[in-house]
Amino acid sequence: MKPSVLENKDFWAGAFLIAVGATAMFIARRYTFGSSLRMGPGYFPSILGALLILFGLYFLVVSRLRDEKIEGSWSLRALIVLPLSLVLFGVLIDRAGFIPAMLALIVCSATASTEFKLIEVLLFAVFLTALAVAVFVWGLGLPYPLIADFQ
Amino acid sequence: MGLFDNLIFGFEVAFSLQNLLYCLIGVTVGTLIGVLPGIGPLGTIAMLMPITYSVSPVSALIMLAGIYYGAQYGGSTTAILVNLPGETSAVVTCIDGYQMARQGRAGPALAIAALGSFFAGTVGTLLIAVAGPPLAEIALKFASAEYFSLMLMGLVAAAVLAQGDMVKSLAMVVMGLLFGIVGTDVNTGVQRFSFGVPELSDGIGFIVVAVGVFAVGEIISNLGDKEQRRVFTAKVSNLLPTRDDIKHSIGPILRGTAIGSFFGVLPGTGPAIASFASYMVEKKLAADPSRFGNGAIEGVAAPESANNADAQCKFIPMLTLGLPASGVMALMLGAMQIQGIQPGPQVMTQRPELFWGLIASMWIGNLMLVVLNLPMIGLWVKLLQVPYRLLFPAIMAFSAIGIFSVNNSSFEIYLTAAFGVFGFICVKLGFPMAPLLLGFVLGPMMEENLRRAMLMAGGDPSVFVRRPLSLVFIIATALILLIMVLPAVRQRRAEIAD
């Protein structure tokens, strides 16, 4: 039985490249293309976008010829949790200060692992935050409030 | 100024207390992450780069370089003791190194690996010192056309010679070039691909891409795979190699160094290829090839020398031409730019302390690795017991601090998260990430040189083949592409990849 095209690595690789290339060309359309004597800001990106589309088409052809499946899991848990914990860090460090942001980032990102143990992670987060405060804020003098003033 | 005056000058720079300290920090951190699987020199250098802003460019580069070659040492330690290559460069060392350890000869294996690496590092350092100035001399005569063709050759070679699907590597180079031009166009002031976001008008931060792809993206894919850690089995008792060991190692070390130096200057070939090639050579030359795979000391000496020589020689194109030959070199180039140094042949004349100081420090660093690491092997192996479930949140934390400290911008943290997802998807689809970084670093320079060359040639694209040096690079690029599509070479490549 022929596996579905949706599992084919080359199909998705091709689709991905075409999507990026087409987006780049579409946006670059608004920039002056110029001539090869005086290249405008749109010249180089348009060529790169076109190249990406060509590469993408190549992989679409290849996907008809070989069946290479995408290997391994999509690690959905990590894929969602890790970017989110970075966002959390970004939000907190501006509003709540260095210590809350660090603690949140460490504890939150640790939940991405299936071997997550709450007590261990909490202790580790406190240790690591203390270390980071000592090294970066006191040692290297990075100018972040440890805990933001809410007054 | 002769070679030795230059080297002495370099050692004066490298022997300052501050630079010695940064060298020590670099090689220690390097060994540490070399021992730990799941974090490589790329991710670490990207993560620690922001911390080096406050120190002088020389110290910063000395430390970052130390991480790079320190990781090679650390990687071979675990390869021998636990059959776990901490870095890809040590994969070949596992074969005979671990067998030696199982026969109770871990000590001699480690010692020969260290001594071979040290010898190769010394030769590599000398090679940079000898080959650097004449290469830079030639490169100073380059005009825009030559630069464009040279970068084209470098990028194509890097993509084609790297392991994995070469068309995918080429596609990633183009993607990297595209990311590289985000921001204000220097010639017209037009905002490109910045989507009205003020933070993007200066372009995407180099560190954002590197950390996103090599730290965050890497962690996501590591967590997808089941964690595997073998238990420590081998004990290290006697470090001293026997007279026989040394006699058998001298030839392999010399040949390994030569092979590694050769592959080192080629763009794209990682240390894994050099060590593999030298292992095959030794096996071919051996009177009794069946010893290989059963704990032959030659099988440790040759690849370890080769991968270290390779690592050192990768600096030659980076320092003399401003052309990064690997992902780590792209990071080093980025570190120079962030410090306000325009990479290229003029570095050697304008910042001699940087060039010669860095070279001398690499020799000192190699010596530190031998002296410090052999007695500390037990400690490094203990570190293997740090579980990944604690290691990766720590990497996340240091990455976040590192990125935030660059511009105090939360936006760059969000962008890093996005690049993490992007990197993970690319890896899943079989796209290698190092070519992306090479393209990203070279993108703006390449566009600038292309535009300038065309302007000066009156819009005539034949300028790239009319200028002799540029023509040489173009022909070389075409040859590389041509050779690689030959069926025989493709097949051989596939075999090596397996």
pLDDT tens digit string along B137-164? Answer: 887 778 888 888 888 887 887 777 666 6
What would the pLDDT profile of B245-268 be if each residue is shown by its tens digit? 878 888 888 888 888 888 777 766
**Residue ranges making up the domain that contains A126:** 76-139
pLDDT at B239 over 80: no
Which amino acid makes up residue B391? L
Chain A residues near residue B190 by CB distance under 8 angstroms: 31-32, 41
For residues A126 and A87, membership in a common domain is answered with yes
Orientation of helix B17-35 relative to helix B3-14, angle to 10°: 80
Helix (H, G, I), strand (E, B) or coil at B330: helix
Residue A24, in any domain of the structure: yes
Q: Which of A37, A42, A47 is nearest to B454 (CA)?
A: A37
For residues A18 and A50, membership in a common domain is answered with yes
Picking from A48, A90, A112, the nearest residue to B410 by CB comes out as A90
For residues A90 and A58, membership in a common domain is answered with no
Residue A107, in any domain of the structure: yes
The CA angle B419-B400-B413, to the nearest 5 degrees, is 45
The whole-angstrom distance between B459's CA and the closest CA on chain A is 4
Beta bridge partners of B270: none
Both ends of chain B: CA-CA distance in Å? 48
pTM: 0.78
Tell me, what's the pLDDT at A18? 94
- Cα–Cα distance measured from residue B143 to residue B467, given in angstroms and rounded to the nearest whole number: 10
- Cα–Cα distance measured from residue B458 to residue B452, given in angstroms and rounded to the nearest whole number: 10
On whether any CB of chain A is under 8 Å from the CB of B53, the answer is no
Chain B residues near residue A99 by CB distance under 8 angstroms: none
Residue A147, in any domain of the structure: no
In a mutational test of the A interface, the residue from B396, B409, B464 whose CB has the highest number of chain A CBs within 10 Å is B396
pLDDT, mean of residues A38-47: 84
What would the pLDDT profile of B195-223 be if each residue is shown by its tens digit? 877 778 778 887 788 888 888 888 888 88
Q: How confident is the model at residue A1 (pLDDT cuts 50, 70, 90)?
A: very low
Tell me, what's the pLDDT at A86? 94
Tell me, what's the pLDDT at B259? 84
Residue A149, in any domain of the structure: no
pLDDT at B314 over 90: no
By percentage, how much of chain B surpasses pLDDT 90? 4
Chain B residues near residue A118 by CB distance under 8 angstroms: none
Question: Which H or E run includes B192?
Answer: strand B191-192
On whether any CB of chain A is under 8 Å from the CB of B401, the answer is yes
- Number of domains comprising chain A: 2
DSSP-derived letter for residue A137 is I
**CA distances (Å), origin B336, targets A130, B16, B261:** 31, 20, 24
The whole-angstrom distance between A1's CA and the closest CA on chain B is 22
Mean pLDDT of all residues in chain A?
85
Residue A51, in any domain of the structure: yes
pLDDT, mean of residues B382-390: 75
pLDDT, mean of residues B442-453: 83
- Cα–Cα distance measured from residue B90 to residue B92, given in angstroms and rounded to the nearest whole number: 5
On whether any CB of chain A is under 8 Å from the CB of B453, the answer is no
Q: How confident is the model at residue B234 (pLDDT cuts 50, 70, 90)?
A: low
Tell me, what's the pLDDT at B271? 67
- Cα–Cα distance measured from residue B495 to residue B498, given in angstroms and rounded to the nearest whole number: 5
Tell me, what's the pLDDT at B416? 92
Task: Mark which of A37, A65, A93 sits at the end of a domain.
Answer: A65
pLDDT, mean of residues B321-347: 82
- Whether residues B175 and A20 touch (CB distance < 8 A) is answered with yes
How many A-B residue pairs are in contact by the CB < 8 A criterion?
183
pLDDT, mean of residues A108-133: 89
pLDDT, mean of residues B416-438: 88
For residues A83 and A50, membership in a common domain is answered with no
- Judge contact between B177 and B5, C-beta under 8 A: no
Q: How confident is the model at residue A83 (pLDDT cuts 50, 70, 90)?
A: very high
pLDDT at A88 over 90: yes
Q: How confident is the model at residue A73 (pLDDT cuts 50, 70, 90)?
A: confident
Tell me, what's the pLDDT at A126? 93
Residue A144, in any domain of the structure: no
Q: Which long-range contacts (CB under 8 A, 24 or more apart) does A77-80 make?
A: A77/A112, A77/A114, A77/B223, A78/A112, A78/A113, A78/B219, A78/B220, A78/B223, A78/B224, A79/B220, A79/B421, A79/B424
Q: How confident is the model at residue B269 (pLDDT cuts 50, 70, 90)?
A: low
- Judge contact between B190 and B184, C-beta under 8 A: yes
pLDDT, mean of residues B156-181: 82
- Judge contact between B6 and B136, C-beta under 8 A: no
Q: Which of A133, A16, A29, A2 is nearest to B193 (CA)?
A: A29
- Cα–Cα distance measured from residue B351 to residue B295, given in angstroms and rounded to the nearest whole number: 47
ipTM score assigned to the predicted complex: 0.91
The CA angle B247-B248-B252, to the nearest 5 degrees, is 120
